[in-house]
Amino acid sequence: MVHWKQQLYDSANRVANQFKDYPGIVSVAIGGSLARGMAWKHSDLELCVIVDQHLQELQYFNYMENMGVEIIQIKKQQVEEFLAGEGLPKEAVLQFPIQIYKCRIVHDPSGILAKFKAAYDDTLFHSDVTAKKREQALQSVDQRYALAESLLSGGFPNTALAHLRLASNDLLLAYYWHNHILPRSQNRTVYLLKQNAERFGFVDFYNTFLQIFGLNQPLPAMKQSLFQSQSEIYQLANAGWGSNSVLFLQNAVDQNLEWGYDKSILYVYKWCVHLLKSGKLEDKNVYDHKQFEADYPKLYQFLDFDKMTSEEIRGLFDRFHDARSKLA
């Protein structure tokens, strides 16, 4: 019987090989944890491809060969300009996705990806780069927090909580870059955050993160609420991220909560919904419209909008502010 890890790598290779001769694709690599030898049984494939131009027909989220696949497109011109810019500040690598870090090259006839990989791997954890990563994350944190604060003061507590959650996710990234930790494995976010918090001394932030995402409630009730709201979540995903995203969520984000990382998966679904509905900051009080509760009654409950009062949310703001101040 083939070991699960071998099956995982075999599936990843089959997917990657499908794109070797795809029109408009110059180079193909396996990225993420599969490339770095840190795979777990339910790892996604982060497929990194260098393209002549962005390929609209390729959706970001996919489900292929019984695994979740994220197709990450990087323009060839962008890579060429980076490689030609000898003497550029180290921070020039910030324009590229971290999933390509220590990638495993599958197809690269021109050699452009090999040259880029060598430069990127050598630079990502340079002190100038991690400092800039931290700074960028904190800028996003402060933008989100200011918006959330104004929403709460304006009488829109539900949407304020959603933006506070997005700010918390950015603060998690800031803590990681501050401690030179590579963010990884979205499906195990809470589990890994607990490990890293204990190791690097930010347990207070971990506990605050749990409270802000409503993950300190009885687990059976939270699981039941997710199950009841899944069809509404998939409806949003289909409209916002494309048809393939539903298969991705159903199969690559543990829809039945069978993988042993229940709080992490509950977090992922809440975070995904907030990205879909609040991420662009366009409808600044979306969750406080009566229409949202009418259109998505089960999702309204899953997102805890029927449980938290404005006063309780204000308390979360205070805790968040304390966690943010640790990285001032």
> pLDDT tens digits for 18-32?
999 999 999 999 999
**pLDDT surpassing 60 at residue 281:** no
Sign of CA dihedral 244, 249, 253, 255: negative
Quote the DSSP letter at residue 110: T
Q: Are residues 282 and 208 in the same domain?
A: yes
Q: Are residues 105 and 132 in the same domain?
A: no
Q: Given 124, 153, 181, which residue is the final one in a domain?
A: 124
d(CA 92, CA 213): 34
> Which residues have CB under 8 Å from 284's CB, separation 6+?
147, 151, 156, 159
Q: What share of the chain has pLDDT > 90, as a percent?
A: 88
Q: Given 124, 158, 188, which residue is the final one in a domain?
A: 124
Q: Are residues 246 and 265 in the same domain?
A: yes
Beta-bridge mates of residue 104: 30
DSSP run (H or E) holding 25: strand 25-31
**pLDDT surpassing 80 at residue 87:** no
Mean pLDDT (the chain) is: 94
Closest by Cα among 241, 254, 209 to 71: 241
Q: Are residues 133 and 8 in the same domain?
A: no
Quote the DSSP letter at residue 95: G
CA–CA distances in Å: residue 208 to residues 144, 226, 315: 16, 21, 10
Q: Are residues 107 and 133 in the same domain?
A: no
Say what the pLDDT of residue 4 is: 87
d(CA 98, CA 46): 10
Beta-bridge mates of residue 28: 49, 107
Contact of 31 with 69, CB cutoff 8 Å: no
Q: Are residues 90 and 227 in the same domain?
A: no
Q: Given 90, 108, 124, which residue is the final one in a domain?
A: 124
- Three-class DSSP category at 143: helix
d(CA 58, CA 11): 19
Quote the DSSP letter at residue 100: G
d(CA 296, CA 145): 25
Say what the pLDDT of residue 178 is: 96
**pLDDT surpassing 80 at residue 89:** no
pLDDT tens profile 115-174: 999 999 999 999 999 999 999 999 999 999 999 999 999 999 999 999 999 999 999 999
Give the domain extent around 213. Answer: 128-325
Q: Are residues 11 and 81 in the same domain?
A: yes
Helices (H), strands (E): how many in the chain?
A: 14, 5
What's the pTM?
0.94
Q: Total structural domains in the chain?
A: 2
Confidence of residue 2 (pLDDT cuts 50, 70, 90): low
Q: Are residues 80 and 157 in the same domain?
A: no
Q: Are residues 140 and 117 in the same domain?
A: no
